[in-house]
Amino acid sequence: MKILVAVKRAIDYNVKARPKSDGSGVELANVKMSMNPFDEIAVEEAIRIQEAGIAAEIVAVSVGPKQCQETLRTAMAMGADRGILVETDEEVQPLAVAKILKALVEKEAPGIILLGKQAIDDDSNQTGQMLAALLKWGQATFACGVEFAGEELKVNREVDGGTQSISVKLPAIITVDLRLNEPRYVKLPNIMKAKKKQLDIFSPAELEVDITPRLKLIKAEEPPVRVGGVTVADVDELVDKLRNEAKVI
């Protein structure tokens, strides 16, 4: 079985994003970019499934500008066997990403597709579910545990009140949540090896996918700034303030 794993180049986890001064978008010039943290967990899970002897090949896919090649090299240094970049400098929204991935699924015929549950830039949490819809496959979202049982997957999911387990028929989509695993550190020799792995590049047009955005950004602005308050000397003062000033207890 082949696994397709989707990886997004996103703002680094530790960077605080700011809007451009004219409000026309997000300031990303000279900002550190990394693989979306949830996608790292997806890559790690793919590798563990391969290490368990269930999958033969892992193909990492990214959609975006040329620099996404670095993201794919990271996935390959972790252990993905090859990479595919669908290169475009245009904005690609989740529905368009799902359509691109569907076109690649038709070429590659994977048994499982792993994705992060959301990207930490647009916080959409859509692509995996949309891809499952377009492929008419089952979807196991927010996964915190994955087990194979014949032609089915048993997946534990993070839900609002705790966890839920479902069974999904293969082929299936899995979107991963943070407790699923801890991604491995990339070792230097593997970074060297990854440079030699196959990386194919397509354009959205070659895949016959229309990526025209459906949502237009009208304005990007900072939320109202919360101003820090006062420092209290001890718990007695704190309790007094909460009771008599804020009146919340």
Look at strands 2-6 and 57-64 and give their pairing.
parallel
For the CB of residue 101, give the shortest distance to another protein in the complex, in Å. 11
* CB-based burial, 35-63: b 16+ in 10 Å, e otherwise: bbbbbbbbbbbbbbbbeeeebeebbbbbb
Residue 216 burial (CB count, 10 A): 6
Asked if omega into 204 is within 30° of 0 (cis), the reply is: no
For the CB of residue 114, give the shortest distance to another protein in the complex, in Å. 16
CB nearer another protein, residue 2 or residue 179: 179
Please give the DSSP secondary-structure letter assigned to residue 205. T
CB nearer another protein, residue 25 or residue 56: 25
For the CB of residue 69, give the shortest distance to another protein in the complex, in Å. 24
The secondary element (H helix, E strand) that includes residue 42 is helix 37-51
For the CB of residue 178, give the shortest distance to another protein in the complex, in Å. 6
Strand partners, 140: 174
For the CB of residue 201, give the shortest distance to another protein in the complex, in Å. 25
Q: Do residues 6 and 104 lie in contact, with contact meaning Cβ atoms separated by under 8 Å?
A: no
Q: In which residue are the tokens 């949490």 written?
A: 125
For the CB of residue 128, give the shortest distance to another protein in the complex, in Å. 8
CB nearer another protein, residue 9 or residue 117: 117
For the CB of residue 109, give the shortest distance to another protein in the complex, in Å. 18
Report CA-CA distances (Å) from 67 to 26, 72, 104, 171, 201: 18, 9, 20, 30, 12
Please give the DSSP secondary-structure letter assigned to residue 99. H
CB nearer another protein, residue 59 or residue 132: 132
In angstroms, the CA 9 to CA 234 distance is: 45
